[in-house]
Amino acid sequence: MLKRIILLSIVLVVVIANLVSASSPPKIEAEAAVLMKADDLQVLFDKKANDIMYPASTTKIVTLITAIEEGNLNSVVVASPQAALCDGSSLELKAGDKLTLQEALYGMMLVSGNDAAEVIAENVAGSVPQFVQKMNDKAEAIGATRTHFTNPHGLPDPINHFTTAYDLALITSYGMSNPLFAQIVASREHDVRFTSGAVSHVTNTNKLLKTYKGANGVKTGFTNAAGECLVASATRKNVQLVAVILNSDYRWSDAAKLLDYGFQQLGL
């Protein structure tokens, strides 16, 4: 009888421990992070979510939204010499290269082409500064009150180019409601086609698309100033979650932990 009581007590302790573990927020390494339910913007996890941070290439989430809403997706965009020489990650565009705006959007988001981001900005708005103004207007309209951009790609500007984890989640939740936005950021690979007939095969830098159940976006980012960043999304049973990880050497595991935690909280 005593052994049975002891055994039942051990089982009860294990069950309680598992329940506590399942409901406890995960420990993550990111300097700032947030987990948001996309449909109603409910925050399920918050770590310094409103602290001002550098966004790096997660900036391109807003570039994508702005270009889809402001541009003609079938129009042909032309790479200027300045855009072709843009620093950092690249679609390897050359001055004079021509492709549709939609193809440029894939190139920008999947391989994080800074050159593609500048080509998009120049062709949609006439100049990079004019496009960036549209980006800031859009961010403000969405409700991202602690965000400001000075370029369309996220290369460092230590004073005037910044955001927060919360604002990025808010912006991404808005973006995911657009079918083309959702299609592009969920694409694991794509053949970027130029009007010349040339094709550039690109693979998405977002590893979670291949490793996390239900993953469907969104964007990686890195600069020395920003650290490793990731905006990740996943959907299960029609519930969309958005996890934002800013400045973490463990962005992939951080994002997976947050998404796991969110789906557990929602019984999914």
Alpha carbon distance 103, 70 (integer Å)? 16
Alpha carbon distance 67, 123 (integer Å)? 10
Residue 241 CB-density burial (10 A; 0-12 exposed, 13-18 middle, 19+ buried): buried
Catalytic residue among 112, 173, 233, 248: 112
Helices 60-70 & 128-142, crossing angle to 10 degrees?
100
Residue with tokens 């990111």: 30
Contacts of 59 (CB under 8 A, 6+ apart): 149, 151, 152, 153, 154, 161, 163, 221
Catalytic residue among 60, 138, 219, 257: 60
Please report how many Cα atoms fall inside a 13 Å half-sphere around the Cα of residue 267, on the Cβ side: 0
Alpha carbon distance 140, 150 (integer Å)? 14
75 flagged as catalytic: no
253 flagged as catalytic: no
Count the Cβ atoms, other than its own, within 10 Å of residue 261.
21
Alpha carbon distance 60, 196 (integer Å)? 26
112 flagged as catalytic: yes
Q: Across the chain, where does the E strand assignment appear?
A: 32-37, 42-47, 76-78, 98-100, 189-193, 199-203, 215-223, 227-236, 239-246
Helix (H, G, I), strand (E, B) or coil at 198: coil
Q: What are the catalytic residues? A: 57, 60, 112
